[in-house]
Structure 1
Amino acid sequence: MSEVKTRAERVPAKPRKSPVREWFDSVLFAVVAATLIRWLFMEAFTIPTPSMENSLMVGDFLFVSKLHYGTRTPRTPLQVPLTHQKIWGTDIPSYSTAIQLPSYRLPGFTHVKNGDVVVFNVPPKYLNDNIDYPVDLKTNYIKRCIGIPGDVLEIRQREVFVNGKPFSKPPRSEQKYFIKTTEVLDANFFRKYEIVNDYRDPSQPTENWKPLEQYNDSTKTASMVGYQVNTTEDVIAKFREFDWVKGIEPMVDKPGEMSPGIYGTPTFKWNHDNFGPLTVPKKGATIQINPQTIALYGPVIELYEGNTNVEFTSTAIKIGGQPITSYTFKQDYYFMMGDNRDNSLDSRFWGFVPEDHIVGKAVFVWMSLDPNPANIWNKIRWNRLFRTID
């Protein structure tokens, strides 16, 4: 009698994966999934500096949406997954520039708007450890967008104006004040008002320090102590209610006083409290070349527009050896500022952010850890968990 085998019997059973192989497959799947999510949808960041306080605090962990403005296609595909510039814990580059691709942006469901909190690759080389990283590997910064393409922006005595209208100040934004008191204040006092990273103790003078003064009137004499603090208007209003606070002065640069390092100087006598007016470059817009436009847009033409062999002086620009009398911008640009206006290295110092440097929109804080807590029980800032960013 002939033997008949079923289909299941005829197909040899697959060998069972070893534990090591199962572990490797699981890790590989997790890495691929995380890389795709990080590239296409959402990426996690942390806040290392106080430039966005008090809207975002040092130690905040946030998610940044790639979908809002559209995901960028990779320019540097040869890169260790889930790294940025270097392999974790080393100085070994995590990428190779052997292949550089043109970058495109997938469709998003909105555009960068005035007031958006945006993560971007900071353009200047000196803010990238003086390394000429590819665009998609430059250092990530987070700031608030103040000017979009075509806007005319100006800062007058700290107040920002866009197209001639006052720009709404973020409710938790900070600025610098000098407080005169008859009381010696310590870190615990300032912590109550979320002034953790931005005050100066009188026992530790700094470059901007004002020395102790004598408070005198016809009835009494008392030693006065001065503190330079960066804080919100609401906190300053509370300080004014204390009878031992004898004076609060905004620390504001005067118009016409030029500060070194400000973008556009020395052609323009600007400082970080009085800046502009200037027009944010817009794709397709044409400018005439003169000393004023060279001071504002010369670096843009040289560094971010994809031009080769650019030479410029304070009075002339050459592209490919040919002098130009006008220039038409090839992409959009943005003007970014930190909410901590007096402690932020932003567009007032290094200029415009090109559109191809935009990473995504900050959407919410999912965790917040105080880097210098009063005690272990206060390490987590519970009131900041799952806070939306506006």
Structure 2
Amino acid sequence: MSFQSLISNFALILFVLMVVTGVIWAFDRFVLLPKRKANVSAALQELEKNGNLDQASRSQLEASMMRQPVWVEYSGSFFPVIALVFVLRSFLFEPFKIPSGSMLPTLYVGDFILVNKFTYGIRLPILDKKIISVNEPQRGDVMVFRFPKDPSQNYIKRIVGLPGDTVVYKNKKLIVNGVESQYESQPEFLHEGPQLSYSKQFNEKSGSLTHRILNDDDRPAGIAMFGEANFPYADQCIYEIEGVTCKVPAGHYFMMGDNRDNSQDSRFWGFVPDQNIVGKAFFIWMNFSDLKRVGSFQ
């Protein structure tokens, strides 16, 4: 199993470990422990008959006969820890690390983020089936989801289109349901690294939500698909030299990265179905290169 597969199946691995250690703990608690107690009682009665029982001998005998096998002891110790991690990770919060710059300037490479697993509803772990609805995803949310073309990979993008929306991205301007977003120029964004470069930075205001995006003048506005779009409901999208127009199908979402010219997103690989949702990203809990990154974000 590759490292990527190991990470992708972490929930399954945790579940298996929880079941195995839990079965061992329960077997010891309800089967082996009563037997050990019965054996201790029988041994103590035998020693009492022979008159060879003093307090020191009694304590030594009890400690020896009540001792758990090493494999049982370790399983019993690990079970509550593994169960707690599994519950927290499956139903409450899950940590992720940002691997790419597609969400700059909102999220940096190396940001460790927390994802709220219950804000969009309670889902069964492993099966990822929603059993309780809570809130619906909102336009502007930063969402983690399983990549439609390879569900073993987790992606993070911003929701720009809800089910039924008409999303237009032309000439690097976003229009949703006929309402064009407003743009306010900000100081250029410096990309640090071996080769320093700059991107144009804007505040993009869509309704009541404002967040920052990046654009590069040397990148075209259109989407180079190199042939027909190949994803479910691709017929709901029209590609032109100026950009793309898509009608979001029911039960799906249109996602885009904030680093607009450097993001592979719904413009390229299509819509995200509801069943692929992992949760809402809401907090940066660590960045070892810049501790000032810690905090909430829009």
- Which category of TM-score, normalised to the shorter sequence, fits these structures? 0.5 to 0.7
The structure 1 residue matched to 2:134, chosen from 109, 119, 124, is 109
The number of aligned residues is: 223
Equivalent pair of 1:117/1:144 in contact (CA under 8 Å): yes
Q: Scaled by the length of structure 1, what TM-score is found? A: 0.50
2:225 matches 1:260: yes
Letter in 2 for 1:259: A
Distance 1:109 1:194, change over 3 A: farther
Distance 1:115 1:56, change over 3 A: same
- 5 Å-filtered alignment, 1:33-72, equals 33-72=84-123
> C-alpha separation between the residues in 2 aligned to 1:170 and 1:46?
30
Any gaps of 5 or more consecutive residues in structure 1?
A: 1-10, 77-102, 129-134, 178-192, 202-227, 235-247, 283-331, 370-378
> C-alpha separation between the residues in 1 aligned to 2:274 and 2:103?
21
Equivalent pair of 1:39/1:71 in contact (CA under 8 Å): no
Query: Structure 1 vs Structure 2: percent identity of aligned residues?
Result: 32
> C-alpha separation between the residues in 2 aligned to 1:333 and 1:64?
20
2:244 matches 1:280: no
2:69 matches 1:15: no
- 5 Å-filtered alignment, 1:1-390, equals 12=41, 15-17=66-68, 21-74=72-125, 76=127, 104-124=129-149, 128=150, 135=151, 138-167=152-181, 194-196=190-192, 229-233=198-202, 250-251=217-218, 253=220, 259-261=224-226, 263=229, 268-270=238-240, 274-276=243-245, 278-282=246-250, 332-369=251-288, 379=289, 381-385=290-294, 387-390=295-298
Equivalent pair of 1:122/1:140 in contact (CA under 8 Å): yes
Equivalent pair of 1:336/1:352 in contact (CA under 8 Å): yes
Q: What is the CA-CA distance between 1:70 and the residue it aligns to?
A: 1.3
Distance 1:43 1:171, change over 3 A: farther
The alignment partner of 2:157 has SS state of strand
The alignment partner of 1:50 has SS state of coil
Distance 1:153 1:233, change over 3 A: closer
Letter in 2 for 1:230: S
Equivalent pair of 1:54/1:231 in contact (CA under 8 Å): no
Any gaps of 5 or more consecutive residues in structure 2?
A: 1-39, 42-61, 204-214
Equivalent pair of 1:118/1:359 in contact (CA under 8 Å): yes
Equivalent pair of 1:118/1:143 in contact (CA under 8 Å): yes
Letter in 1 for 2:291: W
- The structure where helix makes up a greater share of residues is 2
**Per-residue deviation, residues 53-79 of structure 1 (Å, max 9, x unmatched):** 110000000110111001322455xxx
- Report the aligned-residue RMSD: 3.5
> C-alpha separation between the residues in 1 aligned to 2:68 and 2:182?
61
- The structure where strand makes up a greater share of residues is 2
The alignment partner of 1:52 has SS state of coil
Distance 1:167 1:27, change over 3 A: farther
Distance 1:352 1:249, change over 3 A: closer
Equivalent pair of 2:140/2:158 in contact (CA under 8 Å): yes
The alignment partner of 2:114 has SS state of strand
The alignment partner of 1:106 has SS state of strand
Q: What is the CA-CA distance between 1:152 and the residue it aligns to?
A: 0.8
**Per-residue deviation, residues 256-306 of structure 1 (Å, max 9, x unmatched):** x662348459x94435x6211x21001xxxxxxxxxxxxxxxxxxxxxxxx
